[in-house]
Amino acid sequence: MTKIRYIGILVSLCITVSLAAAKEEEGATSLAAVSPEGFGTSVSSEMSAGETAIESPEELQSTPLEESDETPDLSQLQPEELSIEEQAKNLQYDIPMPWGHELFEKYRQYYLSDGGRKILLATMERAAPFMDYIQSKVTEYGVPQELAYLPVIESAFSPFAVSRSGATGIWQFMRNSISGYGMTVTDWVDDRRDFMKSTDAALNKLVDNYNDVKDWPLAIAAYNAGLGALRRAVNAMGGDTDFWNIYDKGLVSKQALDYVPKFLAVASILRYPDLYGLKLPSSSIKWEAIPLDRQIDIKLLAAKAEIPLDTLKLGNAELHYTITPPEDAHLLKIPADKTEEVKAILSDPNTPLVHYEIYRVKEGDTLTAISKHYGVSISMIVKVNAGLNPDRLKIGQKLMIPLSLQPLNPPSNSAGGGAGSVQTSTYTIQKGDTLYSLARRYGTTAQKLANLNGIYMNSILRIGQKLKVPAAP
């Protein structure tokens, strides 16, 4: 008999693959019994006794593998591609996603629409300077990775964001909720806008919430509605700490109930952006925090260190003015790749980093009156005039008055252009008012106020006099 070699390849999604090979022996060939479904030849399922389960090898229309010139096409045998939703459900999340929850799914549908995707991409563009720091802190604190995206629905990652209720910064802290979290609000700074301090504070607050209620969705709801409200809801549920049970009962405000599924919908997408074809910008800046031993005007530093001023404003958004506080402990955030250059500039005492005006003391002057005239604190004047005795000014004595008190982020309608382009209101001069103090109050400069009113910088202001000032936002 002619030597014949038979090889069968059985591919299926639901059954096992079997292989039978013919032994090459002179005079006889045997074939092991194999389930017929694996071959192309059909076999009747209705067989009488004594019939064989498969046709004889000579009648099979198969080609030995080693004699085939073509690669077998197994595309029909591949499993159907999973939908994006099915793939998403198979991914790993630190906070379980409420798949099938009506509001969660509606938010996902919205943020995956063309308009929603544009919003996410624009928001993550704003997030790029902060994400490296935020994600590193999320890892350091050992909290769910999804929490890095909470600012998407809090502030759209704007450090200058202020809500109607006064919540401020990337993480939207109220002024009365910062106690114990390492933030302060002074005449010089608002730490709620400091992306480093507020990130640490927010993660600490979320950890505190979780340690209290033992459930991340509940802890997130408490970040929005307050821990007290969620404690009361848990008590009303007899100690049940499952947020979704509280959701079903409607035991907290609708805003808090909507907040959690909205956040989780956003986080479920941004955690795996590639799945949805979202190309997010990479973290654009690595920051270094440098302690200062003197006041500086970041405008001057930006020019000397060749750092874009907008970059320094973004990293130091906590400043009310472009000048840093008089205290030595302030931390200045700069791009890490400029660290050595900035340190060299700061270490040179001959490098002027604050704008000054020289004031010559006249008869009757007091330091209090001078400080009010320029809208600068007495302590600030004393600090930059070494050896100055506030109680013993001498006629003709020269004082250096720091004038770098321009707003860091002036309102869009501040007096920045010609008088015709500015929305104004009227202010009546009170005792002690000066152009400098009014400029500080209205977020502009003394020179712009003078221009707006057609007066000179040294013009005398009279009590009761009417001045144009930038209208309140």
Question: Cβ distance 30 to 4 under 8 Å?
Answer: no
Q: 366-401 b/e with 16+ CB inside 10 Å = b?
A: ebeebbbbbbbeeebbbbbbeebeeeebeeeeebeb
Based on DSSP, count helices (H) and strands (E) in the chain, helices before strands: 16, 6
As a whole number of angstroms, the distance between CA 139 and CA 435 comes to: 49
Which residues, including other chains, have CB under 8 Å from residue 125's CB and lie 6 or more apart?
Answer: 281
**What does the DSSP assignment read for 186-220?**
-SSBBGGG-HHHHHHHHHHHHHHHHHHHS-HHHHH
Q: Tell me if residue 154 is catalytic.
A: yes
Contacts within 8 Å (CB) and 24+ apart, 178-182: 181/205
**CA angle, 14 then 20 then 25, to 5°:** 175
Pick the catalytic residue from 25, 125, 154, 340.
Answer: 154
Pairing verdict, β 331-335 and 424-428: unpaired
Q: How far apart, in whole angstroms, are the C-alpha atoms of residue 315 and residue 322? A: 12
Each as own residue / partner, the long-range contacts of residues 158-165 (CB below 8 Å, 24 or more positions apart, any chain) are: 158/126, 159/193, 159/194, 159/195, 159/314, 159/317, 159/318, 160/193, 160/317, 160/409
Q: Are 330 and 292 in contact (CB under 8 A)?
A: yes
Helix (H, G, I), strand (E, B) or coil at 118: helix
Cβ–Cβ < 8 Å for 468, 424 = yes
- 8 A C-beta contact, residue 6 and residue 31: yes
Strand partners, 323: 297
The three-class DSSP label of residue 375 is coil
Cβ distance 386 to 399 under 8 Å? Answer: no
d(Cα 155, Cα 136) in Å, to the nearest integer?
A: 20
Q: Specify whether the CB–CB gap between 354 and 300 falls below 8 A.
A: yes
d(CA 212, CA 53): 68
Active site amino acids: 154
